[in-house]
Amino acid sequence: MNLKECRLLVTPTSYGKNDARLKTELEALVGEVIYNPTGKPLTSVEVAELLPGIDGYIAGLDVIDADALKTADKLKVIARYGVGFDNVDLEAAKSKNIVVTNTPGANSVSVAELALGLILALARQIPEAVDAVHQGKWPRYSGVSLEGKTIGILGLGAIGKQLARRLAGFDCKILAFDPYADKQFALDNQITLAEMDQVIAASDFVSLHLPLLPETRGIVDEVFLNKMKKGSYLINTSRGEAINEEALLKSLQSGHLKGAALDAFIVEPPDPNHPLLALPNVIATPHLGAQTDGATSNMGWLAMKDCLAVLKEEKPLYRVA
């Protein structure tokens, strides 16, 4: 297919933000590029309004369901800007012969760095301490050292591995669960592999890095939380849907969990009156794990290359459907 005849839809709001070449090179290669007009992830209705006449779609966290794809009269590829594709109806895409790709590993370093930052922020009560000083106070908080503690990593994929590497210098014990664990990596990096129940029961900090699948949706429920060590901390930089937020609230209010750091919620942005946001031992960030210069550029280049490869009838690097 002649790229100069192609019209592309690009919806990630950070696309080209840190590397202008992503836009200039794409615009030079294809006939027309249409960017996200809303500045936020698109709803199914909004996607449906933009898809007619579109050949390639570099997609952010938009809702791409069967209804959205009904208007896709020319679409050949959805190139997800990121690793998750749970918002894409793969069966609907397949029925219309639309290839779906993603960008695995592109944001792994950035998300792992945020997870480590949140662990430290919880351990040393950094947000509370900063807020106190801004109010003219000078409290003496008693923090938690990572030295000698056990860090549990659920999901030893690209992000989990990067987190483990960064924890290596803190003299802590690392436990990990992954159904398809890289045993050689674990051996080389002094990581103890164990079943999920063993990891969550023994860990002082549990960091979630599991993909959102039917079996992981709501996995952090009351049973899961009750198995965690009393006084431990939960960190989630994966998907908000992995956590039953009501169960987490109860666990924090009861004192069973000492704190939680959440970069993702079921509904984003969460209501300002969300009960979890009222707790001083909850650190909430606006799903910014992948929002660094390195991650956005990596995701942009990978998504663009695979999108154009499909349009040129070549094999993409990271096809998921």
- Can you read off the two tokens belonging to residue 59? 């997609």
DSSP string of 222-289? HHHHHHSPTTEEEEE-S-GGGB-HHHHHHHHHHTSEEEEEES--SSSSPPTT-GGGG-TTEEE--S-T
287 labelled catalytic? yes
Out of 209, 239, 241, 245, the active site residue is 239
User: Is the distance from CB of 140 to CB of 146 less than 8 angstroms?
Assistant: no
Out of 287, 313, 314, 319, the active site residue is 287
268 labelled catalytic? yes
Chain-centroid distance, C-alpha 285: 12
Residue 50 CB coordination number (10 Å): 19
Q: What are phi and psi of 243, to 5 degrees?
A: -115, 135
Out of 5, 49, 222, 268, the active site residue is 268
User: Is the distance from CB of 230 to CB of 201 less than 8 angstroms?
Assistant: no
User: Is the distance from CB of 301 to CB of 87 less than 8 angstroms?
Assistant: no
- Can you read off the two tokens belonging to residue 133? 């000083």
140 labelled catalytic? no
Active site residues: 239, 268, 287
